[in-house]
A and B are shown apart, each in its own frame.
Chain A
């Protein structure tokens, strides 16, 4: 059987990740814009930098975590590996590598998005336009998903696409939850306050989970229930549990269908994540520190990526892939 070129597998994986990342960055910024509408201003915008672990890189180039600077850093800054411009450009670079492999429609859509994002200026990211811009980017990423679903040939490459997508989504969900949870709990620790109700509502909406949450919890808006839903719900498409289960399934099918020798270590790592997710209730997690728990999940997901890289993407880790693995 003709197996996939290792470098293609890697590019497919990262193209999927970067598109998923761009979507989630747009979601994070959008939800944050909502939080800062009433006067928490400065402090809140710094949270997003802190929780992304970007403090050092941010303050190397900006004096203050003003709304304008933070938004610029996360949308327009081409040097920032967690900016939308960076993610879209990286997705497009990978897509360019993959042009012999992906459909013309997939390529053209990413290329058009890239040209659009490249042309963004200060006016486009001004706070009054931010929500609009974020939903445009989000929708472009969703269009990508749709085109991919409808046109990408279902061979080995498809499995690497799904691995990239779900690993990134799981990672981004942990970040979104981290940012949202602490923005709310940190500013007003009284979860019954009406202001906070609006914020919880916004957090759920940012992950497109409000209606689904209401179906499970018709009444109330308890922080623990919300965190638990976002992390553990088996049917919610952005939950960490669902993503982890998908990753596990994709790896299993990939190995059996294409007789791949590697990948056992990645499966062990994902088993650890699944075991951890099913062994602790959300209340115990919050008691022990939600932030630390989310950090731990991020590290384990990063381990999965390292194992995939080692097993499938060519023996030596190229410099390029190290740069990408931000």
Chain B
């Protein structure tokens, strides 16, 4: 290992990881050897040069319309997801550990879903409280007793991971309904290849651009039996959805039509799409519409996005859906606390990637602890997505804490609390230089017959100084995530 000598105009010379675990520099006393070459290359870049390339990348993202919609009170604004050009790098060993942990997790979640929609053994054995599962608003009685191909319910899982002060990866949240973000993973890589080919050369970065093909394979595998070339479509809520760009991206990568509810009709429990030559059968649907809006006849009757009758076609086995209906009960923030026990129960193993310590406010003990330690805890509503409604105890004002306390007491079972994890940082380009910013990681697992994990995932970065909130809806950005090839003999 060679130590890089700091030079006076070195881009990283004055960089201070501020006591946090750093994705490029490692822990306080454990330097990250796998990033040595990358740090050296970064250090040799002039600040002006890296800034110019960063501006080029932003302009290109805007011109390509790689954007998401943000809704303010009056209007919808097309924004690019801020892209930071300094990559996050994961070693081959770290990744091998994460990959195994993610496969373990998705396996357990699928076993759990099969169980709760069939025998309910885990409930009878008292591992998880019945009302948390059966009484969950995301539990779908329509799924009871229904057999799904390969017993796979969650075909696409996004796992939100954070890295704590000791460099330990922990699961913060599972996304097993319609997880998004994978398009940015691939687009960020393309952008880096265009803007920083010199930084990447010869490093042995694992490729990621076969995601679409892996997804198509999984969605085709689950098509009704006896169809040699199933017709697959991607069902989107439409161009006003904030993730519409991703729907476009995935439809292209899979080479399948992107349809909306109005393009599909159900006749005699079969799903058809409207073509220039009349109706054509659809066999398998990658749907980016939540359960609630999928079938106005079965769920939310006001929904104009869905396809009336699609549930019946699904129940008859005439069409496949990915993800399956009713997976929301497995990625619920309250059920999340039980996942390590689930893993033990179904697989007889310890969780390879641990959870973040979590207090369940629906339980008296958890509520009491939370109320007593409000100022040091993060309190999250269990039903919200996108980082909304979160109170960060250590950063909250007195009034915010009081407000949080009131809400907790009014509806304890809507909340969980967790210690404030000092999220790891990664060097990030700012106006004034390279500074540490907090990051998380969302890897994606695709499961049909087997599970495949995309190497790396989406690294989200809190672009504002000192904030832990990485959500795109709240000013977060993203980085390219490099998983290095295993070079050990």
Give residues of chain A (1-59) contacting chain B, Cβ–Cβ below 8 Å: 2-9
With A and B bound together, what is the CA distance between A5 and B239 in angstroms?
A: 16
Query: Do A96 and B239 form a contact, CB below 8 Å, given A8-B257, A108-B64, A318-B262?
Result: yes
Chain B residues with Cβ under 8 A from A262's Cβ?
A: 276-277
Question: B274 in the interface, Cβ–Cβ < 8 Å?
Answer: yes
A160 to B275, CA, bound (A): 13
Q: Which residue of B lies closest to A311 (CB)?
A: B276
What is the distance, in angstroms, from B68's C-beta to the closest C-beta of chain A?
A: 13
Question: Does A7 lie within 8 Å of B260, measured CB to CB?
Answer: yes
- Known contacts A2-B231, A8-B257, A100-B257; A260/B276 CB under 8 A: yes
Selected from B231, B251, B277, B280, the residue in CB contact (under 8 A) with A100 is B251
Q: How far, in angstroms, from A299 to B485 measured CA to CA in the complex?
A: 65
B244, B248, B260, B274: which has the most chain A beta carbons within 10 Å?
Answer: B274
Does A198 have its Cβ within 8 Å of any Cβ on chain B? no
Residue from the list B248, B274, B278 in contact with A7, Cβ < 8 A: B274
B304 shortest CB reach to chain A, Å: 12
Contact check, A312 vs B252: say whether CB atoms are below 8 A apart: no
Q: Which residue of A93, A100, A107 is within 8 Å of B258 (Cβ)?
A: A100
B382 on the interface (CB 8 Å rule)?
no
Task: Find out whether the CB atom of A3 lies under 8 angstroms from the CB atom of B64.
Answer: no
**Interface mask (A248-264 → B, CB under 8 Å = 1, otherwise 0):** 00000000001111100
Inter-chain contact B248/A4, CB cutoff 8 Å: no
B259 at interface, CB cutoff 8 A: yes
Find chain B residues with CB under 8 A from A93 CB. Answer: 239
Interface residues of B in 253-301 (CB under 8 A from A): 257-260, 262-263, 273-278, 280
Give bound CA distance, A40 to B434, whole Å: 63
- B263 and A7 form a contact (CB under 8 A): yes
Is the CB–CB distance between B248 and A6 below 8 Å?
no
Output the nearest chain B residue to A260 by Cβ-Cβ distance: B277
**Could you tell me if B252 and A3 are in contact, using CB atoms closer than 8 angstroms?**
no
Q: In the complex, A99→B245 CA distance in Å?
A: 9
CA distance A312 to B276 in the complex (A): 4
* Beta-carbon contact of B231 and A314 below 8 Å: no
Count of residues in B whose CB is under 8 Å from the partner chain = 23
Q: How far is the CA of A115 from the CA of B64 in the complex (A)?
A: 11
CB of B389 within 8 A of chain A? Answer: no
A115 to B67, CA, bound (A): 13
Q: Do B275 and A5 touch across chains, with their CB atoms under 8 A apart?
A: yes
> Which of B63, B244, B248, B274 has a CB less than 8 Å from the CB of A5?
B274
* Structural contact, B64 and A107, CB atoms closer than 8 A: yes
Residue contact B263 to A6, C-beta cutoff 8 Å: yes
Distance between B79 CB and nearest chain A CB, rounded to angstroms: 13
Check if A99 sits within 8 Å of B248, measured CB to CB.
yes
Number of interface residues, chain A, beta carbon within 8 A: 31
CA distance A160 to B277 in the complex (A): 13
Query: Do A5 and B259 touch across chains, with their CB atoms under 8 A apart?
Result: yes
* A143 CB–B CB distance under 8 Å: no
Is A104's CB within 8 Å of the partner chain B? yes
Complex: A10 Cα to B274 Cα, angstroms: 12
Whether the pair A6, B275 counts as a contact (CB closer than 8 A) is: yes
When distances are taken between beta carbons in the complex, the residues of chain A under 8 Å from B280 are 2-3
Complex partner residue of A261 from B239, B252, B263, B277, CB under 8 angstroms: B277
Question: How distant is A267 from chain B, measured CB to nearest CB, in Å?
Answer: 15
Residue A258 contacts which of B231, B248, B259, B277 (CB distance < 8 angstroms)?
B277
B149 at the interface (CB under 8 A from A): no
Partner pick for B276 among A3, A97, A99, A112, CB 8 A cutoff: A3
Chain B residue contacts of A6, Cβ below 8 A: 263, 274-276
Query: In the bound complex, what is the Cα–Cα distance between A96 and B240 (angstroms)?
Result: 11
Q: Which residue of A lies closest to B255 (CB)?
A: A100
In the complex, A5 Cα to B273 Cα: how many Å?
A: 7
> Nearest chain B CB to A152's CB is how many angstroms away?
14
Taking CB atoms, residues of chain B closer than 8 Å to A312 are 276
A156 at the interface (CB under 8 A from B): yes
Q: By the criterion CB–CB under 8 Å, are A108 and B239 in contact?
A: no
Chain B residue nearest to A111 (CB atoms) is B65
User: How far, in whole Å, are A99 and B244 apart by their CA atoms in the complex?
Assistant: 10
Among A2, A4, A104, the residue within 8 A (CB) of B64 is A104
Contacts of A318 in B (CB 8 A): 262
Set of chain B residues within 8 Å of A9, measured between Cβ atoms: 276
In the bound complex, residues from chain A placing their C-beta under 8 Å from that of B239 are: 93, 96-97
* A261/B278 in contact, CB under 8 A: yes
Residues of the B chain whose Cβ atoms lie less than 8 Å from the Cβ of A313:
276
| Bound CA span A3–B263, Å | 13
- The residues in A between 171 and 221 inclusive whose CB is less than 8 angstroms from any CB of B are none
Residues of the B chain whose Cβ atoms lie less than 8 Å from the Cβ of A2: 231, 275, 280
Cβ of A100 and Cβ of B276 under 8 Å apart?
A: no
User: Contacts of A5 on B, CB cut-off 8 Å?
Assistant: 257, 259, 263, 273-276
Give the distance in Å from the alpha carbon of A278 to the alpha carbon of B128 in the complex: 81
Which residues of A have CB within 8 Å of B263?
Answer: 5-7, 314
In the assembled complex, the CB of A318 is this many whole angstroms from the nearest CB of chain B, namely 7
Chain B contacts of A99 at CB under 8 A? 65, 248, 252
Measured CB to CB, the closest approach of chain A to B395, in angstroms, equals 37
In the complex the two chains form, is B277's CB within 8 Å of A259's CB?
yes
Q: How far is the CB of A243 from chain B (nearest CB, A)?
A: 22
The CA-CA distance from A111 to B67 in the complex, in Å, is 12
Report the nearest A residue to B273, measured CB to CB.
Answer: A5
Cβ contacts under 8 Å, B258 to chain A: 100
Contact with A along B91-120 (1 / 0, CB 8 A): 000000000000000000000000000000
Contact B275–A3 (Cβ < 8 Å): yes
Kindly report which residue of chain B lies nearest to residue A9, judged by CB atoms.
B276
* Complex: A9 Cα to B248 Cα, angstroms: 17
Given A4-B275, A100-B257, A259-B277, answer yes or no on A111-B64 (Cβ-Cβ < 8 Å).
yes
29 A-B pairs (CB sep. < 8 Å): A2-B231, A2-B275, A3-B275, A5-B257, A5-B259, A5-B274, A6-B275, A7-B260, A8-B257, A93-B239, A96-B239, A99-B65, A99-B248, A100-B252, A107-B65, A108-B64, A111-B63, A115-B62, A115-B63, A156-B276, A260-B276, A261-B277, A261-B278, A262-B276, A312-B276, A313-B276, A314-B274, A315-B274, A318-B262
Closest 6 CB pairs of A and B: A3-B275, A100-B251, A3-B277, A99-B248, A6-B274, A312-B276
* Interface contacts beyond A2-B275, A3-B275, A3-B278: sample of 19 additional A-B pairs, CB < 8 Å, sorted by A: A3-B280, A5-B257, A5-B259, A5-B275, A5-B276, A6-B263, A6-B274, A6-B275, A7-B262, A96-B239, A96-B244, A99-B252, A100-B251, A107-B64, A111-B63, A111-B64, A262-B277, A313-B276, A314-B274
* Chain A residues packing against B (C-beta within 8 Å): 2-9, 93, 96-97, 99-100, 104, 107-108, 111-112, 115, 156, 160, 258-262, 312-315, 318
